[in-house]
Amino acid sequence: MKGRGRGANKFVPDIIYFSKVTNIFDIENKWRIRIKENGPTPKVAIA
């Protein structure tokens, strides 16, 4: 989060640039799995 002085805080996403990577989609899938593992939301919702 980034403060704006008098206004509300603004979310600023991290941007990472890769060069000379042969299979970026494989890395993206591994990151998504890792984010799901560390996420605060439960995997199965109880109704």
User: What tens digit of pLDDT does each residue of 18-29 get?
Assistant: 778 788 888 888
Check residue 10 and give its pLDDT. Answer: 77
pLDDT at 41: 65
What does pTM read for this prediction? 0.41
Q: In sequence order, which ranges of 1-47 are alpha helices (DSSP H)?
A: 24-38
Residues of the chain with pLDDT under 70: 1-5, 7, 40-47
Say how many Å lie between the first and final Cα of the chain, rounded: 33
Please report where in the chains the tokens 């799995």 appear, as a residue: 33
In terms of residue numbers, what domain contains 42? Answer: 1-47
Unique residue bearing structure tokens 């996403």: 13
User: What's the structural domain count of the chain?
Assistant: 1
User: How many C-beta neighbours within 10 Å does residue 33 have?
Assistant: 10
